[in-house]
Structure 1
Amino acid sequence: MSSNAAEYQFLNKVFDDLFPICRSISGPGLEQSIAYFSQFMPLTMTKVASGTEVFDWTVPPEWHFQRARLWGPDGKLICDSQVSNLHVVNYSEPIEAEMTLEQLQPHLHSIPHLADAIPYVTSYYHRTWGFCLSQQQRERLTAGVYKVKIDSHFDEQGGVPYAQTLLAGESEREILLSSYLCHPSLANNELSGPLVLLGLYRRMQQWPRRRFSYRFLLNPETIGSLCFLSQHHQHLQQHLEAGLILTCLGGPATNLRYKASKRGNSLFDRYIGKLAATGDWRMESFTPLYGSDERQYCAPGFNLPMGQVAKTVYGVFPQYHNSLDDKAFMDMGSVIDSIDQLEQLLLSTEISGKALNLKPYGEPQLGKRGLYPNINTPINRHTSSDQLLDGRQELNAILTVLSESDGKTFMLDIADKLKLPLASLRGVIEKLEQHQLIRFNTGKTL
């Protein structure tokens, strides 16, 4: 089996195991999902207690949900969370009652323009209950007495968890890769991000070297990132080089879309800006009006260099936040393509920062290092070594990188000066590092 086929099969099984679990921003389903990922990533879970003041938020009670059912006047089951856990309003309070259709209607949710879709509805911070059903189902409801039963309870002694692990590199400067894990039975909008996070971890674990350290984080959206920030924002202020929130990374779109950090000058902001200019990526400026956890990281009190990456973007596909966002729509091949693109981005980002020439007094002697022709004749004036004929391109790159590596200039800008893609300089940079002629700045790049 090829590595691509094995990866596809592996992620396919992860999806199938996780999709049926009823997740929320707290509770057994979320912790079960974190435990599942911990089989493949050495995650450390932290739980912030219910009632804790987290900046302007209060950590809610933990939701424990068993089952929700709605019966019609004829005794037939209309909604059952064991058929789809989208049938219940997430964080519903418990109820067992009988009521008329008129009394029931305010607690029903459907999407009029999507007749066969079950919507995803939440009420985390206001106690209520409800059922979600397709518009077709709703229109078939008739007058009479309905029976509702939601088995759930709230644990005031519970909490909101997040989980993280670190792949250590040569530098204490960190790249943060984060995704949310809180939506039940949604594919592109929920599981694509964690699947890409896991795929990247498994690949990057095998890299022969990592210049940066990489922190991987799973948390429930918004409150989970705020819980993480409440305990780690000082560490991030000191060590975070740049970061990405991973979301909506499946679906039919091809190019990745990057939402920049509020700062607009992180390594990702700068490099992806170049890629977007060539049409390889899509890019937009930061906005607090929509998005995911990047809104918390980029809030004024933190202003951390966190961007967001998506493919088939939230809010613009009709399957968003409803039961039509399934495995067929997400497509595992599209998820793996996102892993491929992001791995290449991270490999290039590793060499996009500021390097320092370690032999800055005159040109270093390249010949004794096998980086310059040892015999200089009119015949080999256009060769970069005694064996390699490439119009001196590699030698010109070596000389330019050495000349410009003053510890202040981004390698990305040096590549521009050479009119070369940054990725094409990787071999040159690795040779210069191998010969201890340059090193990347391991302090704050920005």
Structure 2
Amino acid sequence: MPKPASEHDFLEQCFDDLFPMFRSITGPGIEQSIEYLTQFMPLVLEKVPSGSKVFDWTTPREWHCQRARLWGPNGALICDTDINNLQVVNYSTPIDRDVSLEELKQHLHHLPDLPTAIPYVTSYYKENWGFCISNDVYESLSNGTYRVLIEAKFIDGGVPFASCVLPGESEKEVLLSSYLCHPSLANNELSGPLALLSLYRRLSSWKKRRYTYRFLVNPETIGSLCFIHRYQDHLNKFLVGGLILTCVGGPAERLRYKASRRGDTIMDELMFALSEGKEGCGISLEYQNFDPTSGSDERQYCAPGFNYPMGQISRTVYGEYDGYHNSLDDKQFMGIDSLLNSVDAIERVLTVFEISGYPVNQSPFGEPQLGKRNLYPSMNSQSTRDKSDDMTIDSRTKLNRILTLLNMGDGLNRMRVVADACHCSVEELRYTVEELEEQGLLKLEVRS
């Protein structure tokens, strides 16, 4: 790929390259898509072999579909996955024979309320075959004999997933994940992996990372279960927070955060504060409690046996727009600019999350001497209390924040609680925290 002129152009080129790949939960399409992303982030591909027991699931055989076509009685081509790979039911069994219209209709999927849209339909765990067509085409079908040809096979292979890590000062880990298994869908497929890619590039350039960040792409549901199954001990020890990225494009004006099952993690607390307008980050956010009846891979991470501190972030939410799981979900609907707005907001959230842990006073026996560290006005008078000494807050406010941080820094109070006591946002405490850290007076502990 030639070097793009901007982040917008880079993501648009990635979208155009990835969109036509014939993806499923296994097989060449998803592995080709992962290989493409490895040009820009050092993803390492892993596979859980077909037939493996993964908690209550058994991993399926790989689906390799070369091409699927449907011809009408007059020989006209009605469906062809070389033209649109949504036109076959994903994971269809192979078939090559003639059928009547009556039999064919039992294997056709269409959307009467969206006459021009081609639906996305899957049958991963039950053998079946079928085609997906627009309702307009469906209504035009005439009696006669139809030729169906689905050139597909199932082989022993495995369920793939891929991850890479940006190390931080702490081994404690933040997991950023998205699924990569839907063919030819934009907001409900590529927006998540593209946002993940953009975040990897941005976080790579951070001068300091308190946490270690893991970036993960996997097929939805079975892929996240395979990852958890293989990395459960690691997650139990190191995972302190994370986000599932899904549907982060589209026209919605604000992001939506779906909380973890716990509802009281550091990320939950931060997102709730943002939704209440307490953080002043310029991020418009809707907060939603955890709901196991819909969503994405957060449902697996938040299963009661794991109960990991994983939330989900989205913009134009699955199931709430006409193009959900059909061909109307295209690049124009997703919007590269909308995707970048989401990336901007998520990066801003992560910068606040970085200092949202538990402050611990490193000199807790009495107040430390601030004057010798240039943290206390050299003359305690009205003029020094009112004078701005850091171009942001007056010296009295800064001193109050220092004293409050040190006094509440007993390892029991999250930074959000301290910020409330200081009548400011966590983000506004950043520079004070960093100054105290530089002086060896404060340490931030990171926990789930």
Query: For the superposition of Structure 1 and Structure 2, which TM-score range results when normalised by the shorter chain?
Result: over 0.9
Partner in structure 2 of residue 252 of structure 1? 251
Q: Secondary structure at the match of 2:312?
A: strand
Partner in structure 2 of residue 340 of structure 1? 344
* Whole-angstrom CA distance in 1 between matches of 2:116 and 2:284: 36
Instruction: Give the conservation status (yes or no) of the 8 Å contact 1:297–1:303.
Output: yes
* Whole-angstrom CA distance in 2 between matches of 1:195 and 1:371: 44
Instruction: Give the conservation status (yes or no) of the 8 Å contact 1:174–1:240.
Output: yes
After TM superposition, give the deviation of residue 288 of structure 1 in Å: 1.1
Instruction: Give the conservation status (yes or no) of the 8 Å contact 2:4–2:10.
Output: no
Once the two structures are superposed, what CA deviation does each residue of 1:18-65 show, in whole Å capped at 9, x if it has no partner? Answer: 000010000000000001111111111110000111111110010001
Equivalent residues in 2 for 1:26-425 (5 A)? 26-155=26-155, 157-278=156-277, 280-383=284-387, 385=389, 390=394, 392-425=396-429
After TM superposition, give the deviation of residue 5 of structure 1 in Å: 6.2
Q: Which amino acid in structure 2 is aligned with residue 198 of structure 1?
A: L
Structure 1: which 5+ residue stretches go unaligned? Answer: none
Once the two structures are superposed, what CA deviation does each residue of 1:191-214 show, in whole Å capped at 9, x if it has no partner? Answer: 000011111110001111111111
* Whole-angstrom CA distance in 1 between matches of 2:379 and 2:388: 11
* Whole-angstrom CA distance in 1 between matches of 2:151 and 2:418: 62
Q: Would you say how many aligned residue pairs link Structure 1 and Structure 2?
A: 441
Instruction: Give the conservation status (yes or no) of the 8 Å contact 1:353–1:410.
Output: yes
Instruction: Give the conservation status (yes or no) of the 8 Å contact 1:89–1:122.
Output: yes
Once the two structures are superposed, what CA deviation does each residue of 1:195-245 show, in whole Å capped at 9, x if it has no partner? Answer: 111111100011111111111110000000111111111211111101111
Q: Which amino acid in structure 1 is aligned with residue 224 of structure 2?
A: S
Q: Secondary structure at the match of 1:229?
A: helix
Matched, 1:440 2:444: yes
* Whole-angstrom CA distance in 1 between matches of 2:5 and 2:357: 34
Instruction: Give the conservation status (yes or no) of the 8 Å contact 1:373–1:386.
Output: no
Instruction: Give the conservation status (yes or no) of the 8 Å contact 2:175–2:215.
Output: yes
Distance 1:384 1:364, change over 3 A: farther
After TM superposition, give the deviation of residue 387 of structure 1 in Å: 8.1
Q: Secondary structure at the match of 1:362?
A: coil
Q: Secondary structure at the match of 1:48?
A: strand
Q: Secondary structure at the match of 1:163?
A: strand
Distance 1:420 1:4, change over 3 A: farther
After TM superposition, give the deviation of residue 402 of structure 1 in Å: 1.5
Distance 1:234 1:8, change over 3 A: same
Once the two structures are superposed, what CA deviation does each residue of 1:268-319 show, in whole Å capped at 9, x if it has no partner? Answer: 1111111112283111111111111111111111111111111100001111
Q: Secondary structure at the match of 1:407?
A: coil
Instruction: Give the conservation status (yes or no) of the 8 Å contact 2:385–2:394.
Output: no
Q: Secondary structure at the match of 1:86?
A: coil
Instruction: Give the conservation status (yes or no) of the 8 Å contact 2:265–2:309.
Output: yes
Q: 2:430 aligns with which of 407, 426, 430?
A: 426
Once the two structures are superposed, what CA deviation does each residue of 1:343-377 show, in whole Å capped at 9, x if it has no partner? Answer: 01001011111011111122222222222222333
Q: Which amino acid in structure 2 is aligned with residue 161 of structure 1?
A: P
Q: Which amino acid in structure 2 is aligned with residue 35 of structure 1?
A: E
Once the two structures are superposed, what CA deviation does each residue of 1:380-429 show, in whole Å capped at 9, x if it has no partner? Answer: 23235498872622222222111211111111111111111111111111
Partner in structure 1 of residue 280 of structure 2? none
Instruction: Give the conservation status (yes or no) of the 8 Å contact 2:243–2:311.
Output: yes
Instruction: Give the conservation status (yes or no) of the 8 Å contact 2:70–2:149.
Output: yes
372-381 vs 266-275, greater mean Cα deviation: 372-381
Instruction: Give the conservation status (yes or no) of the 8 Å contact 2:389–2:395.
Output: no
50-59 vs 376-385, greater mean Cα deviation: 376-385
Q: Which amino acid in structure 1 is aligned with residue 90 of structure 2?
A: N
* Whole-angstrom CA distance in 2 between matches of 1:368 and 1:384: 19
Q: Secondary structure at the match of 1:308?
A: strand
Q: Which amino acid in structure 1 is aligned with residue 429 of structure 2?
A: L
270-279 vs 280-289, greater mean Cα deviation: 270-279
* Whole-angstrom CA distance in 2 between matches of 1:199 and 1:23: 21
Distance 1:233 1:387, change over 3 A: closer
262-271 vs 370-379, greater mean Cα deviation: 370-379
* Whole-angstrom CA distance in 1 between matches of 2:434 and 2:100: 73
TM-score, with length taken from structure 1? 0.96
* Whole-angstrom CA distance in 2 between matches of 1:295 and 1:192: 19
Q: Which amino acid in structure 1 is aligned with residue 149 of structure 2?
A: K
Instruction: Give the conservation status (yes or no) of the 8 Å contact 1:249–1:312.
Output: yes
* Whole-angstrom CA distance in 2 between matches of 1:331 and 1:385: 44
* Whole-angstrom CA distance in 2 between matches of 1:405 and 1:386: 23
Q: Secondary structure at the match of 1:316?
A: coil
* Whole-angstrom CA distance in 2 between matches of 1:314 and 1:172: 34
TM-score, with length taken from structure 2? 0.96
Instruction: Give the conservation status (yes or no) of the 8 Å contact 2:384–2:395.
Output: no
Distance 1:389 1:419, change over 3 A: closer
After TM superposition, give the deviation of residue 16 of structure 1 in Å: 0.5
Instruction: Give the conservation status (yes or no) of the 8 Å contact 2:359–2:443.
Output: yes
Distance 1:101 1:147, change over 3 A: same
Q: Which amino acid in structure 1 is aligned with residue 202 of structure 2?
A: R
* Whole-angstrom CA distance in 2 between matches of 1:4 and 1:40: 13
Q: Which amino acid in structure 2 is aligned with residue 128 of structure 1?
A: N
